Amino acid sequence: MNLRFYREQNGWSQEQLAEKISVSRPVITRLETGEQAPDLSYLISLSNAFQVSIDHLLGRDEQTNEYLYEMYGKYQAEGSVSQLIDYLIKNPKFTQSLQELLLVKTKDRKEIEAIIMTVIERVSNVSK
């Protein structure tokens, strides 16, 4: 879920967002970290607060290269983040795979992320 991104884009603290959707700050923390899956009432409230569709909030809508370029400009990315954005723009199949990864249950996603990081570390150590 893109909760943290939209919260930061609006300049809101976790406490401020919690107040806007009538929940406690720890709920926002659990939602952002993936410890808690949002129920429908949370999704509706977050969608209204951020003025985006639920699909967009969940990352389920199609994102074009133009969207990535737009977000790159708004995010004012620096250094490695700009390189990552550029990589994602140039590799739409990988971007799609990452979007699909976002739909996987949190526990499974964390296992997949650990595998990916292990492979990257191994390859990185070999090429040094």
Report the percent of the chain where pLDDT is more than 70: 79
CATH number, residue 20: 1.10.260.40
Residue 64, phi then psi, degrees to nearest 5: -85, 170
Q: Is the same domain home to 71 and 53?
A: no
C-alpha to C-alpha distance for 28 and 20, rounded to whole angstroms? 11
DSSP labels, 4-19: HHHHHHTT--HHHHHH
Where does the pLDDT of residue 46 fall: very low under 50, low under 70, confident under 90, or very high at 90 and above? very high
Answering whether pTM is above 0.75, one says: no
Query: Which of 35, 58, 81 corresponds to the end of one domain?
Result: 58
The string of pLDDT tens digits covering residues 101-116 is 888 888 888 899 999 9
Where does the pLDDT of residue 128 fall: very low under 50, low under 70, confident under 90, or very high at 90 and above? low
Q: Is the same domain home to 53 and 70?
A: no
Q: Is the same domain home to 73 and 50?
A: no
Q: Is the same domain home to 10 and 48?
A: yes
Number of structural domains, the chain? 2
What average pLDDT score do residues 26-43 get? 89
Q: Is the same domain home to 71 and 42?
A: no
The string of pLDDT tens digits covering residues 47-72 is 999 988 888 887 766 554 455 555 55
Write out the residue range of the structural domain in which residue 111 sits: 65-126
What average pLDDT score do residues 26-54 get? 90
**Residue 31 in contact with residue 21, Cβ under 8 Å?**
no
Q: Is the same domain home to 16 and 45?
A: yes
Q: Is the same domain home to 49 and 88?
A: no
Q: Is the same domain home to 107 and 72?
A: yes
